[in-house]
Amino acid sequence: MDCTLGSSIILINLKRAILFNSANNLFLGGKTMNKIISILLMSIVIILTGCGKGGDQPNEKQNSEDKTGIKSLDDFVDNMKEVQKSMEEGEKFEVVDFRDLKELLPESIGDLKRTNAQGEKSGAMGFTVSKAEADYNNEDYSQRIDIEITDITGASGFAGLAAWGWAMADIDKETETGYEKTIKYKGHKAFEKYDNQDQYGSLEVLVSGRFMIAVNGNNLPMAVIKSAMDQIDIGKLESMKNANPISE
């Protein structure tokens, strides 16, 4: 299949999926639609990888025809193109040792004690990630926080960000019981979500385009979830952004 035609067909379906999500007040929030969007993003990766740098390049007319006239969607697609460009032209890195990530996990969060900590390096289909995670609970296990720190540089570009659609979008949504929105956290793009009724929330931060920190809290106020994020040394992660370069 022609490279431009193939990617254009997938982009059209991706836009439709996002429109459907938005129309149902589930913009990047429903698990089913998240899976569909992630599959479409991965399909683009496969086509663009197969085409290679020497493949067909869209001209200005084609770029213009790709526009929908809906700013949020056009911005989303433009962000995806920037990610692809970065993936092709940017420096490549090996993922850091998960043990280095484990050292960033706090021993406790207020009255919540760390009950489990683990890490691993895993790979599939040519993509590799390194991650460390820990669980924190109170004495009767009625309150819980999970923290996960992942180096996604081994699955860069669309493949790395497909699981975190918010990283390539701007979100601001409120319901009767909660909210979800993209924000800035210490200068980095982040996604905050909370449900007042269930007292469940999460805060995710993309550090230097390479490390993803996810904090999830159950039966806790958002302030405690944010305090857990505050205990992670963001500066240390920033200093690791160019770790383990791959020589060409």
State whether 45 and 123 are in the same domain. no
State whether 85 and 141 are in the same domain. no
Q: Mean per-residue pLDDT for 207-232?
A: 95
Report yes or no on 245 lying in a domain. no
Q: β-pairing, 127-137 with 112-124?
A: antiparallel
Q: What is the pLDDT of residues 182-203, one digit of tens each?
A: 999 999 999 999 999 999 999 9
Q: Supply the pTM of this predicted model.
A: 0.67
State whether 25 and 121 are in the same domain. no
Report DSSP state, residue 6: H
Highest mean pLDDT among 122-131, 168-177, 197-206, 238-247: 197-206
Report yes or no on 206 lying in a domain. yes
User: Which of 89, 120, 146 is a domain's end point?
Assistant: 89
Question: Coil, strand, or helix at residue 222?
Answer: helix
Cα–Cα distance for residue pair 76/82, rounded to 1 Å: 10
Count of domains forming the chain = 2
Report yes or no on 244 lying in a domain. no
Q: Quick one: pLDDT band at residue 93, thresholds 50, 70, 90?
A: confident
State whether 210 and 173 are in the same domain. yes
Domain that holds residue 108: 98-239
Report yes or no on 17 lying in a domain. yes
Please answer whether residues 204 and 198 qualify as being in contact, where contact means their C-beta atoms are separated by less than 8 angstroms.
no
CATH number of the domain enclosing 199: 3.40.1000
Please answer whether residues 157 and 45 qualify as being in contact, where contact means their C-beta atoms are separated by less than 8 angstroms.
yes
State whether 122 and 56 are in the same domain. no
State whether 108 and 169 are in the same domain. yes
Q: Quick one: pLDDT band at residue 126, thresholds 50, 70, 90?
A: low
State whether 138 and 195 are in the same domain. yes
State whether 202 and 220 are in the same domain. yes
State whether 140 and 184 are in the same domain. yes
Report yes or no on 58 lying in a domain. yes
Average pLDDT in the chain:
75
In this predicted structure, the answer to whether residue 54 has a pLDDT above a threshold of 50 is no
State whether 134 and 224 are in the same domain. yes
Structure tokens at 242: 């160019």
Please answer whether residues 114 and 108 qualify as being in contact, where contact means their C-beta atoms are separated by less than 8 angstroms.
yes
